[in-house]
Amino acid sequence: MATVKKDINENSEKIKKVKRIVKKRIEELEYKEIEQTLISDDVCWKDAHFSCPENTVRLGTLFSGIGAIEHAFQRLGLKHKIVFAGDIEPNCKKSYFANYEIDEKDWFCDIRDFDAKKYKGQVDFLVGGAPCQAFSMVGHRLGFEDARGTLFYEFARVVKETKPKVFLFENVRGLLNHDKGKTWHVIHDIFEELGYDVKYRVLNSCDYGIPQHRERVYCLGFKRKTEFKYPSPIDLEYVMYDFLEDYTNSKYFLKEKGIKFVTSHKNRMKSYTQINGDIQLCQKRNQQFNWHGDFVFHPQAVDENPDEKFDEFIFDVKDVEEKYYLSEKVAKYVLAGGTKNFKTSTKTDLDIARPLLQSMHKMHRAGVDNYVTHKGRIRKLTPRECLRLMGFKDSFKIVVSDTAMYQQAGNSIVVDVLIALLKQMDITKYGEYEN
């Protein structure tokens, strides 16, 4: 697998050619307004029924990852056949083959070497989300100058070679405003030139049943003209806590350095981190190593024996930032009942800690400042929890390391959004009836 640096700077003759084509197209662009497709105001997709449930939908996927669309078909119980799939990451192949049925001959590693002509007319639905770092707000935003940005052309090439009835191209929201909208303009025009009726809209996973803020562009291309409108949002019935595991290994709990970073004022005020949030900020591919994100606070039970491997603090970190933690020595002082000449209340454990006084550094007694004594631990999300927050049920087999699983989950498409799209477009009518 090529390194990130090599991917960005790679400059093969093929990529140079793509860059020249893109540059020329951008120079020749005539501005036009490309409005997002409307949201449906008809019957909610949740109540819709598939018109041809006996049909088998033939799937082709690019940048397949861990198979979000495949898992969506599994969850819906729809008949489907995987025509081809592929990913450049070897660990993705391990996960994919452990969870889906596919012949070895129909798997490819590098899309740039994939000849899809032999699959012409054999694909009903083509799905792919090209690497988004080239357009992401948190990436270099080099667009087509980044070799990963040119992979869009590989997606378009496979559309041209296979001629699917419908395709879905997914990417980050930043794609729409990259280079003042010119990048999206080029992509949209190319899809139309391939003969497709193009629809697109930004959808957030928290509007479709998953408590995660994850906005992505979902671009659909229909071989025939259609009046398709995007699925309407539904009320969120669950919060992130509902997706957590009952038991977690001690290796997922943060040490002191991690806790101080996660609970720092700067990170929490800027919403880089949150603890026990109802809706996940946005799942990341480097979840294991990134201290920007979502964390869970575990209060220690009254009858629980403290583990020496965990740091214990006086303040519940859900309400109070790290700089207000009290050491054991200071805690004994401020929570004492007083001295011979000064008596004070030792009442603690209010539901919400009041703002601490500016004179806190003087360590007043409990009667002056309010304290809580909920001892607990902070941990990151487990790989299984990350999968759940991407819409993967526990039936999905984990066969790779934690590091690989975090990356794969963070790179995936949210399954529940795909389910909403499949129901809204009635994907079964694009399938084939097999005796």
The pLDDT score that the predictor gives to residue 28 is 65
Q: What's residue 20's pLDDT?
A: 64
Full strand arrangement of the beta sheet holding 273-275? 273-275, 293-299, 376-380
Name the segment(s) of the chain with CATH classification 3.40.50.150.
4-237+397-433
Q: Report which of 186, 148, 152 is spatially closest to residue 24, judged by C-alpha positions.
A: 186
Q: What angle do CA 12, 13, 15 make, to 5 degrees?
A: 65
Q: What is the pLDDT of residue 297?
A: 82
Q: Distance between CA atoms of 144 and 181, rounded to whole angstroms?
A: 13
Interacting residues of 288 by C-beta distance below 8 A, sequence separation 6+: 380, 402, 403, 406
Judge residue 143's burial from the number of C-beta atoms within 10 Å of its C-beta, 0-12 exposed, 13-18 middle, 19 or more buried: buried
Catalytic residue among 132, 206, 219, 386: 132
**Residue 378 confidence (pLDDT):** 78
pLDDT the model gives residue 359: 39
- Mean pLDDT per segment of 10 residues, for the chain of length 435 residues? 40 60 66 88 94 98 97 98 96 98 96 93 94 45 43 88 97 83 84 94 96 94 97 94 84 79 76 85 76 78 49 39 47 53 48 40 44 58 91 97 92 96 98 87
Q: Please identify, in words, the CATH class of the domain defined by 4-237+397-433.
A: alpha beta
Distance, CA of 144 to CA of 138 (rounded, Å): 16
CA nearest to 128, candidates 158, 163, 90: 158
Burial of residue 276 (number of CB atoms within 10 Å: 0-12, 13-18, 19+): middle
Q: For residue 91, what pLDDT is reported?
A: 96
For the question of residue 132 being annotated catalytic, the response is: yes
For residue 317, the model assigns a pLDDT of 42
Q: Which of 120, 113, 60 has its CA nearest to residue 85?
A: 60
